[in-house]
Amino acid sequence: MAKLEDPKDPEHSANSESPKKPGLRRREFVKLVGGTGVAATAQVLAGHKLAAATTTVPEEIVGSGKVIGPGPVPMTLRLNGEVKELTVEPRVTLLDALRNHLDLTGAKKVCDRGTCGACTVIVNNKPVYSCSVLAIEVADRDGKPGAHIRTIEGLEPEGKLHPVSASFVDNDAQQCGFCTPGFVMSCTAYLEAHRHPTMEEVKRALGGNLCRCGTYMGVRNAVVQAAMSMKGGRA
């Protein structure tokens, strides 16, 4: 399954407060330039007094000439079938936009580096790590509608359980539950595209989601049950 991956960042893990390393970190750079190639950087970078880093900016990004940010900018998200307006800095991830600005907290922040899958949402029918996508990347742009984003809150109205969520309950595929919404979203996206999965395929499909409590046995069973109930006409 296509999950957007964040570039590996060897610098972030330690010494983030070191006075010896004031430079631009790679992840921050990715956030600044938007990862889309449209956000201009020269002014953004100057605004952050990091002009020295401009030498590393690819020419095609600098050349686009259009400046967005670095301050908050208005944007429109197509979220769970609704249109949501918000104003955030271009560097804000989709995950932080959902959690901090729209109070949609089903997607969890765990690794914040595209590894654990706790933040999984469905973007244009594909499971995506929302910590590794900028909100602005999936927002409306140039008059064209942005991506269709589904969060776990959009699976069913409050009080109703989606068949995948229900199968997680039935099979006790959750303990502390912090990884669970991410699993449910990965599982949902996968089953919507693959109605007859084998267990080996399921293991690969959910290999991008991590659990610390060790609920994987329940998850394996839950996927089997969910596949059956989704075939039965639901969803």
Partner 1 sequence: MADYHWPPTDKCSLIGRRISRLDGAWKSSGRIKYSYDVNRPNMLHAKMVFSPYAHAKVVSIDTSAAEKMPGVKAIEIITEPGKEVFWAGHEVAAVAAETEEQARDAARRIQVRYEKLPHLVSDVEPAKAGEHTKQLAEQTDGSPDQALQQAEVTSEGEYGVPVITHCCLEAHGQVAEWDGDNLTLYASTQNVSGIPGEIARAKPPIADSADKVRVLSPVMGGGFGSKFGADTWGLACARLAKKTGHPVKLMLERDQELMAAGARPSMYAKVKVGAKKDGTLVGWQSESWGTGGPDAQGGAPNLPYVVRIPDRRVRHTTVLTNIGPSRAWRAPNHPQMCLITMSALDDLAAKLGMDPVELLQRNIEMTGQLAKTYSAELEKAAELMEWKKKWHPRGERTSGSIKKGLGVSIHTWGGAGHPSNCNCVIQPDGSVSASLGSQDLGTGTRTVIGIVTAETMGLPLEAVKVNIGDSKYPADGASGGSTTVGGVSSSTRRAATAALNQLFEKVAPSLDAKPDDLEAVDGQIRVKDNPSKAISWKQACAKLGTTPITGVGQRQRGNDDLLSSGVGGAQMAEVSVDTETGIVQVDKLVAVQDCGLIIDLKTAESQVYGACIMGITYSLFEHKIMDEQTGHCLNADLEFYKLAGIGDFGEIVVHMMTGPEYDQRGVIGLGEPPVISPGAAISNAVANAIGARVPTLPLTPDKVLGVLEKGAVA
Binding to partner 1 (CB under 8 A): which residues in 17-76?
A: 17-20
**Which residues in the 161-200 window bind partner 1 by CB under 8 A?**
161-162, 164-166, 168-170, 172-181, 184, 200
Instruction: Report how far residue 70's alpha carbon sits from residue 72's, in angstroms, rounded to the nearest whole number.
Output: 7
Q: Give the binding-site size for partner 1 (rule: CB under 8 A).
A: 73
Minimum distance between the CB of residue 226 and partner 1, rounded to whole angstroms? Answer: 11
Shortest Cβ 107–partner 1 spacing (Å): 8
Task: Compare residues 92 and 123 and give the one whose CB is closer to partner 1.
Answer: 92
Q: Which one of 36, 54, 76, 115 is in contact with partner 1 (CB under 8 A)?
A: 115
- Nearest approach in angstroms of CB 144 to partner 1 is 27
> Which one of residues 152, 191, 227, 230 is an interface residue with partner 1 (CB under 8 A)?
152
Instruction: Sketch the per residue contact string, 70 through 109, with partner 1: x for CB under 8 A, - otherwise.
Output: -------------------x-xx---x--xx--x-xxxxx
> By C-beta, is 14 or 59 nearer to partner 1?
14
CA distance 205 to 200: 9
- Selected from 189, 206, 227, 230, the binder of partner 1 by CB under 8 A is 206
